Amino acid sequence: MRTFRISIGLSMLVFCLALIGACQSQPQAPAPAAAADPGYLPTATIKDLMLSIVDPSADAVWLSVTTIVDDKGLNETVPKSDEEWLKVRHGAIALAEAANLLKMPGRRVARPGEKSETPGVELEPEEMDVLIAKDRAAWQERATHLHDAAIEVLAAVDAKDSNKVFELGEKIEEACENCHKQYWYPNEVIPDVPADTK
């Protein structure tokens, strides 16, 4: 009788240990991941980036290859020295990286309370923020077009191909204008060109 009770007790102990072992071997559900800290703090507004980086960098590209006709005739400007080419290269790099900065989430169009400098022509900053937030994928894509155009300019600069730099200036202009038409002045009405009255 005593042996029987010990066997039952021993069997129960083995069963409990097996059950505990089985429970411990089950995969544990991962703890909820904490929100990843991106490690950066957007400080400048989109307007700041435009005025501080995008505009001067685009100008460095656009103004590097020009043709002006005046009373003295045809005046062409192209980069000639390594130093002049380096300035254009710096502009292309800054423009490409500015496009990445424009993509960073959390960046506002302007500071709180800032108003449009041309009300009625362009939207107010808050309205622009709404348009950007409504379709971030489209915003990212437009910034990518600017980035890609700048990278093409970089290749043309490295090849010292001034004709290609000039041609790609139009691509930068198109990337900028497509973005502006969507977010800055989407309601702009361009009047028709009057028909020839001859």
- Listed in sequence order, the residues at least 6 apart from 54 whose beta carbon sits closer than 8 Å to its beta carbon are 95, 98, 102, 146, 176
pLDDT at 4: 43
The more confidently predicted of residues 104 and 14 is 104
Q: What is the pLDDT confidence band of residue 186, given thresholds at 50, 70 and 90?
A: confident
| Residue 79 CB coordination number (10 Å) | 18
At 7, list the tokens.
């066997």
Assign 68 to helix, strand or coil: strand
At residue 21, does pLDDT exceed 60?
no
Question: Of 73-77, 136-140, 174-178, which gets the smallest average pLDDT?
Answer: 73-77
Parallel, antiparallel, or unpaired for β 66-70 and 73-77?
antiparallel
What backbone phi and psi angles, to 5 degrees, belong to 106?
Answer: 90, -5
pLDDT at 39: 82
Percent of the chain with pLDDT over 90: 64
> Which parts of the chain are beta strand (E)?
66-70, 73-77
pLDDT at 1: 47
pLDDT at 197: 55
Q: What is the pLDDT of residues 57-102, one digit of tens each?
A: 999 999 999 988 888 888 899 999 999 999 999 999 999 999 999 9
Q: What is the pLDDT of residues 22-50, one digit of tens each?
A: 545 445 555 555 556 778 888 999 999 99
pLDDT at 68: 87
Computed over every residue of the chain, the mean pLDDT equals 85
pTM for this entry = 0.75
Domains of the chain: 46-183 (1.20.120)
Assign 119 to helix, strand or coil: strand
Percent of the chain with pLDDT over 70: 76
pLDDT at 16: 47
pLDDT at 3: 45
- Listed in sequence order, the residues at least 6 apart from 37 whose beta carbon sits closer than 8 Å to its beta carbon are none
Q: What is the pLDDT of residues 153-167, one digit of tens each?
A: 999 999 999 999 999
Q: What is the pLDDT confidence band of residue 13, given thresholds at 50, 70 and 90?
A: very low
pLDDT at 2: 46
